[in-house]
Amino acid sequence: MNGPDGKPFKTRAGGVMKLQDLIAMATDEATKRLNEAGLAAAYPAAERRQIAAQIGIAAIKFADLANHRTSNYVFDLERFTRFEGKTGPYVQYAAVRIKSLLRKAAEQGDRPGRLLPPTDIERPLALLLGRLPDAVMAAHGRRAPNELCEFAFALAQEFSRFYGACHILSEAELPLRASRLHIAQLTLRELELLLGLLGIEVPDRM
């Protein structure tokens, strides 16, 4: 594992980085990313610190596990804590956004309902959701947690496309609204399962 300068990742003094110091650095970077994105600004200080810690740890774990166990990689906390790209915080944020969607749906009296035959909008996400068992078994068989990271990232990306392409809470047809909420709920379950297998927590909100 090398630093952004291409040299072995060490402390400024040249020693081995302690885990507690690494987590503290990651939490500080996560706090910066929250500030830049304007997230969690109005939350209590203790909750905000907890969210920053969850994001920082997610950044470290995802960055490490996203690489094949035999590969070298560059350790760059600034990049790993971003909410864009193949990072732990990006996948976390996708799950948090679904939690927020489902809370808003409940507030307006909507619940996930019966799944309807998927349209062209829902089909890519529905097909990807159905691949989870095979993806988990393949990652287990190859002892390759990086494949779980790849699948989680792909699922977060596909949900983002789905979310941007269709109405959910404002869908006029109630059965279609309920079906899309069901798809969102299934996506959240899979993202939480994948992140849980990687040892990553999902905050309730950001």
CATH number at residue 110: 1.10.730.10
CA 193 to chain centre: 11
For 200, counting Cβ atoms within 10 Å of its Cβ (0-12 exposed, 13-18 middle, 19+ buried), the class is: buried
Is residue 7, in this structure, part of any structural domain at all? no
The model's pLDDT over 71-130, given as tens digits with 9 standing for 90+, comes to 777 778 899 999 999 999 999 999 999 999 999 999 999 999 999 999 999 999 999 999
56: Cα within 13 Å, side-chain hemisphere = 20
Phi/psi at 39 (5° precision): -100, 145
Is residue 13, in this structure, part of any structural domain at all? no
Whether 10 shows a pLDDT value over 80: the answer reads: no
Total tally of structural domains belonging to the chain: 1
- Helix, strand, coil share (%) of the chain residues, nearest 5: 60, 0, 35
Is residue 204, in this structure, part of any structural domain at all? no
pTM: 0.90
Is residue 79, in this structure, part of any structural domain at all? yes
CA 161 to chain centre: 15
For 130, counting Cβ atoms within 10 Å of its Cβ (0-12 exposed, 13-18 middle, 19+ buried), the class is: exposed
What local confidence, expressed as pLDDT, does residue 85 receive?
A: 94
What local confidence, expressed as pLDDT, does residue 22 receive?
A: 87
Query: Which structural domain, as residue segments, surrounds residue 84?
Result: 19-197
| % pLDDT > 90, the chain | 83
Measured distance CA(165)–CA(126) in Å, rounded: 14
Whether 1 shows a pLDDT value over 60: the answer reads: no
Is residue 202, in this structure, part of any structural domain at all? no
Measured distance CA(10)–CA(22) in Å, rounded: 10
Is residue 133, in this structure, part of any structural domain at all? yes
CA angle 112, 184, 52 (to 5 degrees): 125
Is residue 65, in this structure, part of any structural domain at all? yes
Is residue 109, in this structure, part of any structural domain at all? yes
Measured distance CA(11)–CA(7) in Å, rounded: 11
